A and B are shown apart, each in its own frame.
Chain A
Amino acid sequence: MAEERVGVYICHCGHNIAGTVDVEAVAEWAADLPNVEVSRHYEFMCSSLGQELVEEDIKTLGLTRVVVAACSPHMHERTFRGACERAGLNPYLFEMANIREHASWVHAVDKEGATEKAKALVSAAVHRVVHHTPLETMKVPVEPTTMVVGGGIAGIQAALELADAGYKVIMVEREPSIGGHMAQLDKTFPTLDCSACILTPKMFDVGAHPNITMLTYSEVEAVEGYVGNFVVTVRQKARKVITDKCTGCGTCWEKCPIRVVDDVYEAGLGYRKAIYRPFPQAVPKYPVIDVESCTYYKTGKCRACQMFCPTEAIDFDQQDEVVDYKVGNVILATGYEQFDARRIPEYGYGRLANVFTSLEFERMVNATGPTGGKIMLRDGVTEPESVAIIHCVGSRDRRYNQYCSAVCCMYSLKFAHLVKERTGAEVYNFYMDIRTPAKGYEEFYHRLLEEGVRFVRGRVAKVTDAARGPGEEGKLIIQCEDTLIGKQRRIPVDMVVLSAGMEPRHDAEEIGHLFGISCSVDGFFIERHPKLDPMATMTDGIYVAGVCQGPKDIPATVAQGAGAAARVLGVISQGEVALEPIRAEIDEEHCSGCRICNTMCPYSAIDYIEELQVSRVNPALCKGCGTCVAACPSQVITGAHYSYDQVMAQIDGILIDVNRPVTAEAEVAAD
């Protein structure tokens, strides 16, 4: 150990670090730390010149260990490991000190403190790195099949990219059909092309693609394994329909006597039967029986669907199927839920009949929807003469969600246009700001201004049917401060549309846990990097696409879906992935066989070898958390790269400047 030669490199990161931390002083100070052969500071260590500096020193000075003090290891650990490797040094003989995120950026007002802390972190790394041992990554083959969770436009795009590239895809969709929210829409902004017209061909392609296995009416139950080798357990809920026999003729739902409100596809605005196919273009075409509503499951009677089915495809006793799928990578494209407008009681949704949500309105204007595309009040006959569209419902509101849902401005403008086009009604948009930042969006806004749609700037205080005068009788009154004229206004209208925002799926957090990724404060999945790696996550092999990662419109969703597929293709084409060699190993010679570690391991990666009476770690299953290492009463489990000695040395290093060290040895020695 004493003969190790450590190179220390302090990064300025331009002004990011050097503006707060006295990098020169740190470098100079570090030169005197034990084992340090060379200590330098450089403007941008991650630049090719910075990396070459390290490589050069390894070669010419014979460095055996490298410490770079710069940004977070989550940012550039791989970069510098690569530099070491290129110069012939085992990449695990490198250690990074995070003096940017953990020092200069958080202690900007305390330059002295930041510098002192930077020194401590560098010292910690120097003390630690001499205890590093060369490690070899384990290469494992990648299963080329990918699972796409969610059959909306994000998942569809991702699945088709992968399938078209020649790789197998398993698509899991919770609902009876793929299509997602896009299938509910009528027109898409700003081009006003028909949503179904552009979506259904893609849905059909997914259904017919030889490389895609579609599991609709299915949910993921469990996930095991690691990048390249996941085993995902999927529960395929019983459709109660034998798909091999069903022709999708529709006799069953025509004959079914039970009609229920369709809260999913029709957003509550229309009905479906107890046996139903969500919509005519559904893929697959097979119906499902909604067991909750079906009379047979309550009384044992009816069986109308079964009696009339020409192909005997109804099977009331069909059971769920639970199947394991082996996949190499997973793309999560689980989408969003609409903000529940009932949570803002002053807007009256659920109380006042003619208050609609934006999804209800999408269904209303859709030619295949409950009104055949006619815009009408809840009575189903009266055409409104005035319509209010309230923006930012549940978005940009500290009481609910602080974020902007990104699409509401544009779809509200689209609604305004459709109302004008189809009814000639007066349309009021109540907005806080109009946000139209994409190709053709601002132009669409201007078009609407010219179409004579009215815009009132201000957050609506309430929607009420309490009339103050004859002009308000029988109307819904929008009470709002018009912030451009600085006055309270009351505007009576016939119909109100609430442009409700996007929210994460109610079970997004559970799904995140299943796949080992986390959610942001808003509840959307966290990407690996918000700008440079928006498709990957912190868990290798798990990617995200679409609104499950954050609110976005269809073009951005499609781009992210394709991007995630491209990332997966990169992994597949490598054929194998390198696993971090951070895992536990048991010194069997000293193992007492107490088996405490066996129960500690969350992955059942530790087996007890009966004949030897020792425990042994299965390296393929071990994920390197180190829980067993800390638990071993005999201290004979080593956690590679996070060994006891390494961290002890790191503690010594991190406290090097502290003037209060008293160790028992020192005391004893002093006595």
Chain B
Amino acid sequence: MSDNGDFKPVIVGFLCNWCSYRAADLAGTSRMGYPSTLRDIRIMCSGRMDPAWVLHALRNGADGVLVVGCHPGECHYVEGNYKAIRRMNLLKRTLRQLGIEDERVQLHWASASEGVQFAEIVQNMTAQIKALGPLNWKQRNVDDSVNLAVAAGEHVHEGA
């Protein structure tokens, strides 16, 4: 696998408030190092993750998107993470059609006590995306109609 030299990926993360954000906090308090590639956004539940956000991040320069929730069966809101799985599956199908590699958008689980695991998730994903290289949404041959469609999708939201 190529390591793509000095390329440092940018990964936008969506972390649920209860498990994974706390896992990231724990990684911090325990001083577990991981690459500074992850830029995270706190949401209440992985079930809140809107697929449009993932697309928006990818279109605007992120090389990957990481969604982390509570382990299945441990969701603070009972079953939000199951909804996240379903949405992720649909989203991935779309992304595949756009030619975007599976590794670029990942869904993982980390409980509030899994600081080590959280750090590992970021490390692994960084290595994978580093090997893939920059996303370069524009050069991806994603034709304008797709871009427009994605943008249009977003505008519906904004108008709402």
Known A626-B47, A647-B53; contact A106-B119, beta-carbon cutoff 8 A: yes
Q: Which of A110-136 contact B (CB under 8 A)?
A: 110, 113-114, 116-117, 120-121, 124
Whether B39 pairs with A72 at a CB distance below 8 angstroms is no
Known A74-B22, A662-B59; contact A630-B83, beta-carbon cutoff 8 A: yes
Write the A312-356 contact mask toward B (1 if CB under 8 angstroms, else 0): 000000000000000000000000000000000000000000000
Known A658-B10, A664-B150; contact A630-B39, beta-carbon cutoff 8 A: no
Whether A121 pairs with B39 at a CB distance below 8 angstroms is yes
Whether A518 pairs with B80 at a CB distance below 8 angstroms is no
Whether B77 pairs with A625 at a CB distance below 8 angstroms is yes
Whether A602 pairs with B29 at a CB distance below 8 angstroms is no
Which of the candidate stretches A234-242, A495-503, A519-527 sits at the interface with the other chain?
A519-527
Write the B144-160 contact mask toward A (1 if CB under 8 angstroms, else 0): 10011011001011101
Q: How far is the CA of A359 from the CA of B78 in the complex (A)?
A: 37
Among A106, A117, A667, A668, which residue has its beta carbon within 8 angstroms of that of B39? A117
B31 interface residue per 8 A CB criterion = yes
Write the A627-664 contact mask toward B (1 if CB under 8 angstroms, else 0): 10111001110010010110110111011001111111
Whether A625 pairs with B33 at a CB distance below 8 angstroms is no
Whether A108 pairs with B33 at a CB distance below 8 angstroms is yes
User: Nearest Cβ in chain A — how far from B84, in angstroms?
Assistant: 9
A103 interface residue per 8 A CB criterion = yes
Known A518-B74, A658-B62; contact A107-B112, beta-carbon cutoff 8 A: no
Among A106, A538, A635, A647, which residue has its beta carbon within 8 angstroms of that of B156? A635
A582 interface residue per 8 A CB criterion = yes
* A587 contact set on B, CB distance < 8 A: 160
A590 interface residue per 8 A CB criterion = yes
Whether A120 pairs with B39 at a CB distance below 8 angstroms is yes
Known A116-B36, A655-B60, A664-B151; contact A650-B157, beta-carbon cutoff 8 A: no
Whether A106 pairs with B33 at a CB distance below 8 angstroms is yes
Among A72, A73, A124, chain B packs the most CB atoms within 10 A around the CB of: A72
* B34 contact set on A, CB distance < 8 A: 106-107
Known A519-B113, A526-B112; contact A107-B33, beta-carbon cutoff 8 A: yes
Whether B47 pairs with A630 at a CB distance below 8 angstroms is yes
Q: How far is the CA of A665 from the CA of B138 in the complex (A)?
A: 12
A41 interface residue per 8 A CB criterion = no
Whether B158 pairs with A518 at a CB distance below 8 angstroms is no
Q: Which of B37-84 contact A (CB under 8 A)?
A: 38-45, 47-53, 56-57, 59-62, 70, 73-74, 76-80, 83
Q: How far is the CA of A590 from the CA of B38 in the complex (A)?
A: 37
Write the B121-160 contact mask toward A (1 if CB under 8 angstroms, else 0): 0000000000000111110000010011011001011101
Q: How far is the CA of A516 from the CA of B135 in the complex (A)?
A: 39
* A285 contact set on B, CB distance < 8 A: none
Q: How far is the CA of A644 from the CA of B50 in the complex (A)?
A: 8
Whether A661 pairs with B48 at a CB distance below 8 angstroms is no
Q: How far is the CA of A106 from the CA of B38 in the complex (A)?
A: 11
A109 interface residue per 8 A CB criterion = yes
Q: How far is the CA of A22 from the CA of B41 in the complex (A)?
A: 22
Whether A526 pairs with B73 at a CB distance below 8 angstroms is no
A101 interface residue per 8 A CB criterion = yes
A105 interface residue per 8 A CB criterion = yes
Known A109-B33, A516-B76, A658-B60; contact A102-B40, beta-carbon cutoff 8 A: yes
A277 interface residue per 8 A CB criterion = no
Q: Which residue of A lies closest to B87 (CB)?
A: A630
Known A72-B28, A120-B39, A651-B12; contact A660-B61, beta-carbon cutoff 8 A: yes
Write the B87-128 contact mask toward A (1 if CB under 8 angstroms, else 0): 100000000000000000000000111100001000000000
Known A630-B50, A654-B41, A655-B12; contact A635-B157, beta-carbon cutoff 8 A: yes
A182 interface residue per 8 A CB criterion = no
Whether B113 pairs with A520 at a CB distance below 8 angstroms is yes
Among A72, A516, A644, A651, chain B packs the most CB atoms within 10 A around the CB of: A651
Q: How far is the CA of A532 from the CA of B79 in the complex (A)?
A: 31
Whether A661 pairs with B47 at a CB distance below 8 angstroms is no
* A33 contact set on B, CB distance < 8 A: none
Known A538-B18, A634-B160; contact A642-B36, beta-carbon cutoff 8 A: no
* B40 contact set on A, CB distance < 8 A: 102, 121
Whether A627 pairs with B74 at a CB distance below 8 angstroms is no
Q: Which of A573-632 contact B (CB under 8 A)?
A: 582, 587, 590, 600, 602-603, 623-627, 629-631
Whether B77 pairs with A627 at a CB distance below 8 angstroms is yes
Whether A639 pairs with B154 at a CB distance below 8 angstroms is no
Q: How far is the CA of A212 from the CA of B139 in the complex (A)?
A: 70
Write the A515-552 contact mask toward B (1 if CB under 8 angstroms, else 0): 01011110000100000000000110000000000000
User: Nearest Cβ in chain A — how far from B38, in angstroms?
Assistant: 8
Known A114-B36, A518-B111; contact A625-B48, beta-carbon cutoff 8 A: yes
Whether A647 pairs with B50 at a CB distance below 8 angstroms is yes
Q: Which residue of A lies closest to B43 (CB)?
A: A642
Whether B57 pairs with A106 at a CB distance below 8 angstroms is no
User: Nearest Cβ in chain A — how far from B5, in angstroms?
Assistant: 16
* A627 contact set on B, CB distance < 8 A: 45, 47-48, 77, 80, 83
Whether A662 pairs with B111 at a CB distance below 8 angstroms is no
* B119 contact set on A, CB distance < 8 A: 106
Q: How far is the CA of A101 from the CA of B57 in the complex (A)?
A: 23
Among B60, B80, B147, which residue has its beta carbon within 8 angstroms of that of A625? B80
User: Nearest Cβ in chain B — how far from A70, in angstroms?
Assistant: 12
* A105 contact set on B, CB distance < 8 A: 28-29, 31
Q: Which residue of A lies closest to B41 (CB)?
A: A650
A363 interface residue per 8 A CB criterion = no
Q: How far is the CA of A654 from the CA of B36 in the complex (A)?
A: 13
User: Nearest Cβ in chain B — how far from A536, in angstroms?
Assistant: 14
A513 interface residue per 8 A CB criterion = yes
Whether B36 pairs with A107 at a CB distance below 8 angstroms is yes
Q: How far is the CA of A663 from the CA of B137 in the complex (A)?
A: 9
Q: How far is the CA of A513 from the CA of B134 in the complex (A)?
A: 41
A65 interface residue per 8 A CB criterion = no
User: Nearest Cβ in chain B — how far from A62, in angstroms?
Assistant: 28
Q: How far is the CA of A590 from the CA of B159 in the complex (A)?
A: 12
Q: How far is the CA of A124 from the CA of B49 in the complex (A)?
A: 17
Whether A648 pairs with B56 at a CB distance below 8 angstroms is yes
Q: How far is the CA of A518 from the CA of B113 in the complex (A)?
A: 9
* B57 contact set on A, CB distance < 8 A: 651, 655
Among A108, A113, A513, A603, which residue has its beta carbon within 8 angstroms of that of B31? A108
* A582 contact set on B, CB distance < 8 A: 44
7 closest A-B pairs by beta carbon, nearest first, are: A101-B28, A626-B48, A113-B36, A658-B61, A664-B147, A627-B47, A625-B77
5 contacts between A and B (CB under 8 A): A513-B73, A639-B48, A644-B157, A651-B41, A655-B60
Interface residues of B (CB under 8 A from A): 8, 10, 12, 18-19, 21-22, 24-25, 27-29, 31-36, 38-45, 47-53, 56-57, 59-62, 70, 73-74, 76-80, 83, 87, 111-114, 119, 134-138, 144, 147-148, 150-151, 154, 156-158, 160
- Known contacts A101-B29, A625-B80, A652-B60; 10 additional CB pairs below 8 A are A102-B40, A107-B36, A114-B36, A121-B39, A630-B83, A642-B43, A644-B158, A655-B61, A660-B138, A662-B59
